[in-house]
Amino acid sequence: MPDRRDRAWTAGAVLLAGGIVLLTAWTAPPVLLPPLTVAALLSVFLVWSRWRDRRTTGPLSRAERQAVKRALRTGEPPDDPALDRPLLALIERDEAGYRWSRRWLLLFLVLYAICVGVALYRGARHWGALFGVLGGALLGRLLGGGQVKERTERQHRLKELIRNRS
């Protein structure tokens, strides 16, 4: 269960992101809406990602969460064997995400191209920043295969080390 401070930060980030979108929708010129919308969406995504990590690992203290993230980053198992189960849960979730991404990324690229075409046809040039960020993210995900491969190999080694330790 997240502590009170984490819930307060999460609620604050979500309210701030929603407030930015609503405020800019009423007051800002159309040119500023896409960048602020992207910033708000990224804030919501970061909060959602953190919530998903905590839901996967279960209740951990801050030091334990840092040890699990350090193990994922470095590929070395944590010193405390009690952290093996949350670490394996995060690895399994990442692997499922990679499988899903390989299956659906091409469809998202096609839908993205259609959305860009429709927006350009309708003359919505001020949404170019939003489409640029989304396109960059999709392209980065597509071209970032080397990093994904290295991370997957590191996670497989980590999984083997943990299983051999048990």
For residue 137, pLDDT over 70 is answered with no
- Tell me the pLDDT tens digit for each residue of 82-114: 999 999 999 999 888 888 877 777 777 777 777
Binned at pLDDT 50, 70 and 90, residue 132 comes out as low
Query: Would you give the DSSP letter of residue 127?
Result: G
> For position 101, what pLDDT does the model report?
74
> For position 1, what pLDDT does the model report?
47
d(CA 127, CA 73): 36
d(CA 99, CA 94): 9
- Yes or no: say if 10 and 43 are a contact pair by the CB < 8 Å rule: no
For the chain, the average pLDDT equals: 75
Record the pTM: 0.60
Range from 21-25, 33-37, 40-44, 46-50 carrying the lowest mean pLDDT = 21-25
